[in-house]
């Protein structure tokens, strides 16, 4: 169970980091805004799960 918590934590940070690096490097066209928001919500859920468990 501890490895799942650790994996969720690092996966959440990886999603945040990668989506923001992509956004800064290539820009964020209007068609990708929803995907960016959804990925960051998933990342937030993973980070909250890791924090609360």
Distance of CA 45 to the CA centre of its chain: 8
| List of residues 6+ apart from 9 with CB closer than 8 A | 46, 47, 50, 51
N-terminal to C-terminal alpha carbon distance within the chain: 9
pLDDT at 49 over 70: yes
> Percentage of the chain with pLDDT > 90?
91
Q: What is the pLDDT of residues 3-28, one digit of tens each?
A: 999 999 999 999 999 999 999 999 99
For the chain, which residues make up each domain, given as ranges? Answer: 2-52
pLDDT at 35 over 90: yes
For residues 31 and 53, which has the higher predicted lDDT (pLDDT)? 31
pLDDT attached to residue 53: 81
pLDDT at 1 over 80: no
């Amino acid at each position: 169970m501890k490895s799942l918590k650790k994996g969720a934590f690092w996966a959440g940070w990886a999603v945040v980091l990668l989506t923001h690096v992509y956004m800064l490097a290539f820009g964020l066209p209007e068609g990708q805004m929803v995907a960016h928001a959804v990925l960051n919500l998933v990342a937030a859920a993973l980070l909250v799960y890791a924090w609360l468990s």
